[in-house]
Amino acid sequence: MDNSDLDKEKEIQFNIEKERLEETIAVINKEIVNSLDKRKSIIKNITEYRKNAIEEHKDDEDQVAEYFDHERFIAEEQFNLIDKRLRELTILSPSPYFGKIHFMEEDSLNEETIYVGRFGVTPNEAYEPIVIDWRSPVAALFYAGKLGEAAYNAPMGEVKANILEKRQFIIKKAKLLGIFDSAIDVKDEILQMVLSSNSGDKLKDIIMTIQQEQDNLIRQPKNRTIVVDGVAGSGKTTVALHRVAYLLYNYRKTLQNKVLILGPNNIFMEYISMVLPSLGEGGVKQATFKDFALELIGLDHVMSLKDYMEKILIGDQNFIESILYKNSVNYINELDKLVVKLNNCYFKIRNVELLGKVISTKEEIEELFNKYFNSMPLFKRSKRIKRIIYSKIKDRRNEKIRELEKNYKETLAKLTPEEANSYGSDLDFKRRLEIRKIISKVIKVKNELQWIDNPNVVDIYNEFNNNKQLTRDDLAPILYLKIKLEGLTCKDEIKHVVIDEAQDYSALQFIVIKHLTRCQSLTIVGDSNQRLIPIKGAMPMNYLGDYLEFRDVKNFNLQKSYRSTQEIMTYANRYLNNNGIVPLVRNGEKVTEENIYSEKELQKKLVSTLKGLKEKGYESIAVICKDISRTEYISSIIKNKMYIKVIDKEDSIYNSGEVVIPSYLAKGLEFDAVIIIDDNLSSINYDKMMYVMCTRALHNLNVFKLNY
């Protein structure tokens, strides 16, 4: 086939796919109209039924109330279903699908073709879908690395298939812009195109560029805990969020509204907030570990991340030693010793006496503590035992009052009518007075039971911690004590937990998350190279099986980076001592390094570089500094020349534009272009810090080395 024949064939195929796209969009638009009509019909039916129901039961308030409760439930269920469908169809209408697979299943004589999109579409009163949801089992064939033999996991088991053809489409605003026959490898043209776009657009289109190794992680079994240690830009967060979407799609009844995502800070949480809704998923709880812990503990605040990291960066040795200790296994052992000590001698047990009778002996109470309720946490035990003692107090009170009432009635019965008339009121007054005396003694005994009252666990920990200012490293220990002493659990039911930036977590954090949520599976992602918090020994996230009782834990490594250009990743690799990043073959601008010798020169270079990057069309540009003092300094020297937003708090919000930000708050974020301020100051984490700062850049990286 010569070139002209090849071009004609491509043109024919393009027109066929164009016609198919138009037909699909027409069907989707028809489904949108049908859904809108259904919604109108539901509103009409509910309105008419409501009118009739109110008229029928106008004299029966209970019937009317019952009707409205039922009506509200039905309406919510119907509207939720229709609105969800409308949202999906509306998202699909301008771009219904992004892939096509032509294949033949083993033991089948028929070839099949499916189109893969963000959501599935099966027209009303039809049996065959015109678009397959990317999360469906068969869609895994699209993400397989090559043509030929492959397999996917269906409900009935593994299904083998022969992939005959695989296509990717570029569809924007209902127009077919391109067709690519592809095996979806890292050199794929579409992947290159998507990753070359600006950061905001990249996140929107990432679903069509998921690689086989990423898809394998996403589709791991529901009850398996996966731990992903991946280099910067390897798609860890993408994997985590798409795994949530995948699990919700396949196990919605089990997991709906029961998934928790724990991120590093609120900047990051805001940054990723658009991803799950774009995948049609809502109801997923999102929090930082700090906020999650503070709510459970009942604290307002601890040392800010800024103050915490600044102490590390200035090399506060006492503070660093404290971090190392509180992140160690030895600290867990010390907490366990504290729990044992409290169990053995916290409560000074004594007899409980009321109205001349011992109602609970010391021995009886000790038996309750040490035998009958021994399996319960200490302070849960004490609450239960206190209720038992209160019940005995009530019984003794009632016994004395019954005795008093009996004596009163017997005395009253012995009186003549004349005596009853003369002395009856006096006897009643004495009876009431005696009852008050009994109640007074009951109150006194209850007040004396303070020895069995539970203390505030935070107070116990503060004493254990020598009343030092609480930091993020104290949250997990406090939660651990509350679990051990109070039996603390999450108020909300949680069935799956996602932990991002997990390299910064201690072993104790993983332990308390498991106990609090009682989850049997987690998705844990992080990058060992990005831990700026001091640690001794191995990274806890890579050794979960050593201290967590999980039946199925599987570790994965991702060495391939899709975020930045080859030039940026090559530059970043110089700061890694272990296995370096394997960059995607996506070339870009050369990384520039410049020596700066004065503040005036720095000001001039910064302003001109920032303006130049904006002129190139970059929508997100960051000046990343080591710490907050340098961040404030950079802001001060350019604020009169141009506007730049300062991000100096962990609860800041960032969407786009030019920002100056310290290294530790930039973790997890990505920017079209980055300017690094390298002040050449020694730091225990200099290499890791430079690695973090370098790998925030997608397309352009400039390094200004200060020599003044």
DSSP output for 249-307: HHSHHHHTT-EEEEES-HHHHHHHTTHHHHTT----EEEEHHHHHHHHHT----S-HHH
Question: Is residue 607 annotated as involved in ligand binding?
Answer: no
Count CB neighbours of 122 within 10 A. Answer: 14
Question: What is d(CA 139, CA 144) in angstroms, rounded to the nearest whole number?
Answer: 9
Residue 375 DSSP class: T
The gap between the terminal CA atoms of the chain, to the nearest Å, is 67
Cα distances from 377 to residues 185, 294, 450, in angstroms, run 54, 21, 19
Residue 470 DSSP code: P
What letter does residue 468 receive in the DSSP assignment? Answer: P
Residue 659 among known ligand-binding residues: no
- Residue 499 pairs with which residues in a beta bridge? 262, 524
The CA distances from residue 477 to 326, 472, 508, in Å, are 8, 10, 7
DSSP calls for 656-679 = SEEEEEEHHHHTT--EEEEEEEE-
Q: Are 664 and 532 in contact (CB under 8 A)?
A: yes
What does DSSP assign to residue 173? T
Q: Is 138 annotated as a binding residue?
A: no
Q: Is 598 annotated as a binding residue?
A: no
Q: Is 145 annotated as contributing to ligand binding?
A: no
Q: How many other CB atoms are there within 10 angstroms of residue 246's CB atom?
A: 23
Residue 574: both structure tokens together: 């110089």
Q: Report helix angle 305-313 to 317-326, nearest 10.
A: 120
Q: Which residues touch 583 (CB under 8 Å, ≥6 apart)? A: 560, 561, 564, 565, 566, 568, 569, 570
Bridge partners for 261 per DSSP = 286, 498
159 is in an annotated binding site: no
CB 294 within 8 A of CB 478: no
Interatomic CA distance for residues 343 and 345, integer angstroms: 6
Q: How far apart are CA 310 and CA 685, in angstroms?
A: 12
Nearest CA among 387, 349, 389, 390 for reference residue 370: 349
Q: Are 668 and 305 in contact (CB under 8 A)?
A: no
Two structure tokens written together for 134:
């990317």
Q: Helix count (H) and strand count (E) of the chain?
A: 24, 22
Q: For residues 644 and 629, give the distance between their C-alpha atoms in angstroms, rounded to a whole number.
A: 16
Tell me whether residue 244 is annotated as binding: no
What the block records as the tokens of 245 is: 């979407």
| Both tokens assigned to 698 | 């997608």
For tokens 């969407």, name the residue: 655
Residues 642, 645, 647, 649, CA torsion sign: positive
Residue 454 gets which letter from DSSP? P
Q: DSSP string spanning 507-575?
A: HHHHHHHHHHH--S-EEEEE-GGG--S---SS-GGGGGGGTS--S-EEEEEE-EE-SS-HHHHHHHHTT
Binding residues: 230-237
Binding residues for ATP: 230-237
